[in-house]
């Protein structure tokens, strides 16, 4: 192998990325003994997905002088704890420029903008806007400015603040039915940037590869926060993720998380009072923070999909096989993973209660219910 110091800047950055790939592979290999057959099968796929997301978000759509909005997740997977009900769009930004963002809201249950900056530990939220604070015309059209100029703040609900550390903006939507939702339309233009596109030179490509490394480390370790909860499975906890404390999440979105671990003959019953929110949901992820098999099996439920009990409470069942009751989330094939309960634009809500029961007990209940119809 040639002397790294003799390599070009982009080649040096690429070898640093290869070092990160090797390190993450070694971490996964060291944990394989604790996984079942299904989990071992998807372990290295999770690293490839992290690489795909890193390339999508940091390598390709990476020129803040000529930005565009691109979908972050490919349609066939959700990772990093991303919701199956959500779509996420991202565009690169820089405080060197002023941006005009236009579009239509669509009809998702929730719609927001969040501007991110990189820090040594992760991400920081520089500014955010949610739909309730924005201005829309009768057809759902909107227009925003994103800039570092405080004078632009004179139009509340129409300005996103940029700082010298800003690197991009994420648009987050949640839909009660992702198959029928009208998605937003999003356009972004640089008001004061260069008119002519200039291809990336090698120094710029080295910067992008290093940014891709940063994103890859984030996505490939997204499930490691689960380790902080594995000693107390099958319950929800208000425990922060081990990321930059300044990161924040979408304004008005709240979360409680936990891990689940079930034998084939067990079920986890999740119960509670529905939060007074315009949208809430429960989702299952595997140990790598991926919403597993979400196109083929029911692994999440939101408030429009849940069948409430006669007393108005929700009861959701996580199990490896169908218990015969409403609101079954299919954990089949996985020994355990993560569970996230999130709600939007509502007051503080208590964490759902949980209890592990024999699957046979729920099937007997289903038979009794059927007999009383």
pTM: 0.89
List all residues 6 or more positions away from 219 whose beta carbon is below 8 Å from its beta carbon.
49, 50, 53, 54, 79, 80
20, 93, 210, 333 from 202: Cα distances, Å = 21, 20, 12, 46
pLDDT of residue 242: 47
- For residue 174, the cross-strand partners are 86, 110
User: Same topology for domains 64-198 and 225-371, yes or no?
Assistant: yes
Q: How far apart are the first and last CA of the chain?
A: 74
> How far apart are alpha carbons 299 and 308 in whole angstroms?
18
pLDDT of residue 369: 85
Q: Where are the domains of the chain?
A: 1-63+200-220, 64-198, 225-371
List per-residue pLDDT tens for the chain, 373 residues long: 566 677 899 999 999 999 999 999 999 999 899 888 888 888 898 999 999 989 988 888 899 999 999 998 877 788 777 889 999 999 999 999 999 999 999 999 999 999 999 877 677 888 999 999 999 999 999 999 999 998 888 888 899 999 999 999 999 999 999 999 999 999 999 998 887 888 888 999 999 999 999 889 888 887 776 666 677 899 998 755 544 445 555 568 888 889 999 999 999 999 999 999 999 999 999 888 888 778 888 999 999 999 999 999 999 999 999 999 999 999 978 888 889 999 998 777 678 999 999 999 999 999 998 877 6
| Half-sphere exposure (Cβ direction) of 274: Cα atoms closer than 13 Å | 22
> How far apart are alpha carbons 248 and 215 in whole angstroms?
17
Topology annotation, domain 64-198:
Jelly Rolls (2.60.120)
> How far apart are alpha carbons 366 and 35 in whole angstroms?
32
CATH class of the structural domain 225-371: mainly beta
> How far apart are alpha carbons 25 and 107 in whole angstroms?
41
Q: Determine the angle formed by the axes of helices 9-31 and 37-54, rounding to 10 degrees.
A: 160
């Amino acid at each position: 192998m040639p002397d790294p110091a003799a390599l070009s800047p982009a080649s040096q950055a690429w070898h640093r990325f290869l070092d990160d790939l090797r390190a993450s592979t070694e971490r996964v290999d060291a944990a394989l003994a604790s996984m079942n057959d299904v989990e071992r099968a998807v372990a290295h796929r999770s690293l490839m997905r992290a690489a795909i997301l890193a390339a999508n978000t940091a390598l390709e759509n990476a020129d803040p002088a000529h930005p565009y909005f691109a979908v972050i997740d490919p349609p066939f997977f959700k990772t990093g704890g991303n919701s199956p009900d959500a779509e996420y769009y991202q565009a690169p930004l820089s405080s060197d420029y002023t941006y005009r963002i236009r579009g239509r809201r669509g009809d998702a249950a929730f719609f927001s903008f969040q501007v991110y900056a990189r820090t040594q530990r992760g991400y920081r939220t520089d500014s955010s806007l949610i739909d309730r604070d924005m201005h829309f015309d009768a057809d759902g059209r909107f227009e925003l400015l994103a800039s570092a100029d405080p004078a632009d703040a004179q139009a509340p609900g129409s300005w996103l603040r940029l700082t010298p550390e800003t690197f991009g903006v994420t648009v987050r939507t949640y839909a009660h039915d992702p198959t029928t939702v009208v998605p937003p339309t999003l356009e972004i233009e640089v008001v004061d940037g260069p008119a002519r596109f200039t291809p990336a030179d090698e120094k710029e490509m080295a910067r992008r590869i290093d940014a891709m490394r940063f994103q890859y480390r984030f996505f490939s370790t997204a499930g490691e926060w689960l380790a902080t909860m594995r000693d107390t499975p099958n319950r929800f906890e208000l425990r922060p993720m081990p990321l930059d404390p300044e990161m924040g999440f979408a304004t008005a979105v709240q979360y409680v998380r936990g891990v689940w671990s079930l034998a084939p003959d067990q079920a986890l019953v999740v119960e509670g009072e529905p939060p007074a929110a315009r949208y809430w949901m429960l989702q299952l992820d595997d140990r790598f923070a991926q919403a597993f098999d979400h196109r083929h099996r029911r692994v999440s439920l939101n408030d429009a999909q849940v069948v409430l009990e006669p007393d108005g409470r929700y009861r959701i069942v996580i199990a490896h096989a169908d218990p015969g009751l409403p609101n079954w989330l299919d954990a089949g094939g996985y020994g355990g993973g993560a569970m996230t309960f999130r709600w939007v634009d509502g007051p503080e809500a208590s964490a759902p209660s949980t209890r592990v029961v024999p699957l046979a007990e729920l099937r007997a209940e289903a038979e009794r219910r059927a007999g009383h119809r």
